[in-house]
Every structure is written in structure tokens, then in C-alpha cells.
Amino acid sequence: MKKGMVVYAFPASGKTTVSEKYDNFIDLESGNFQYDLTPEQLKLSVEERKGLKRTQNPNWPGNYFEAIKLARYEYDYIFVAYAGLEYCRKENIPYMSFFPTLDQKEDYIARMRNRGNGEAFVQKIANNFENYINSSKEYTQAIKIEMQKGEYLEDCLKRINIIKTDKESLL
């Protein structure tokens, strides 16, 4: 029975890109579980929805935890939001945590704006950037990987040999 690795990666690191490009990855975008979305909100991209006022799904966070459990049997790597980490900690599930260095704050803020995140979301991350990064380093249960300057998640996954490069696949 497959037990995929749960992965937390900082916002705007490239989770969606990796999950769209590689079959053994899934991005469990928490907003799809946390909120009951209006028809107008569903017309927006996932990134544009972040920071908007939305109605809380009464099944949250249990519906998200259930999705994580099921995804571990279907995928090798499951990208989760911060709530997924809380679940992993509570259930003693090992996970990987990818986070930028503190000197990348402006780069990540620019990434969020470039992908269309709402300003409320961008400001929340900007105001708490240092706290988020420092808390990512605290948990002993996680395999912690610091992302290098300019590196996206796909680059980092290649660097640590989770994703094989095209050159390696030809050998």
C-alpha cells in the first residue's frame, strides 16, 4: 500500500506547476476544501481567490484531512497548506517542508503579485514572512529543505533528486 509523502512548500514556490507537470504529485489547494465558493468566485483563478472574503465550509478541516489521507494512497507526493502540517503533526505523519531563505522576501512578494494574488493575501505573507520561515525550521518531525535564491520548487526537487532531470532519464 502506497503512503505518499506529504509536502509543505511556501506560497509562490511552484507547487501548482509541479503538480500539473508530473503525474505523481498533487496540489491539495486548501481553499478548495475550506470555503464554499460562489459562482462568481469560481470564475476566478485559485490565486485570485486568495484574500477574498469567502464563506467557511462547515466540513473544514476534516474534509481536508480526509483528502490528504486518500491522496497518500494515490500519489507519491502531496502538496498541502499549513493546515495539512497541523494534521501531520497531530497524526505523527512525517512530512517535508520547503521554504525560502529570509533574504528572498521581496522575491516571493513579487511572485505572488505576478501570479495574481489579492493584495490582502500578499500583505499577510509580507507582514509575517520572517515568522513563517522561522517556524518552518522548528519542527523536528519534518525533513526541512531550504530553497536557494531564485530557485522554484521544481528546481529544488531536481537538486535533491526527487525529480530526475531530462539528462538523467536518458541514461
Q: What is the pLDDT of residues 124-153, one digit of tens each?
A: 999 999 999 988 877 777 899 999 999 999
52 touches 117 (CB < 8 A): no
Q: 106: which residues sit within 8 A by CB, 6+ positions away? A: none
| Residue 163, CA atoms < 13 Å, CB-side half-sphere | 18
Total of domains in the chain: 1
**Residue 168 placed within a domain:** no
**Residue 162 placed within a domain:** no
Helix (H) or strand (E) holding 87: helix 82-91
Q: What integer pLDDT is reported at residue 7 of this predicted model? A: 96
- Computed over every residue of the chain, the mean pLDDT equals 90
Give the CATH number of the domain where residue 11 resides: 3.40.50.300
**What angle in degrees, to the nearest 10, is found between the helix axes of 82-91 and 62-71?**
70
Q: What integer pLDDT is reported at residue 162 of this predicted model? A: 94
**Residue 112 placed within a domain:** yes
Q: What integer pLDDT is reported at residue 171 of this predicted model? A: 42
Give the percent of the chain with pLDDT over 70.
96
141 touches 45 (CB < 8 A): no
Q: Give strand pairing partners of 6.
A: 78, 95
pTM attached to this predicted model = 0.86
Q: Which of 5-14, 59-68, 86-95 has the lowest mean pLDDT?
A: 86-95
**Residue 41 placed within a domain:** yes
Nearest Cα residue to 34 out of 10, 11, 17, 50: 50
Average pLDDT over residues 153-166: 91
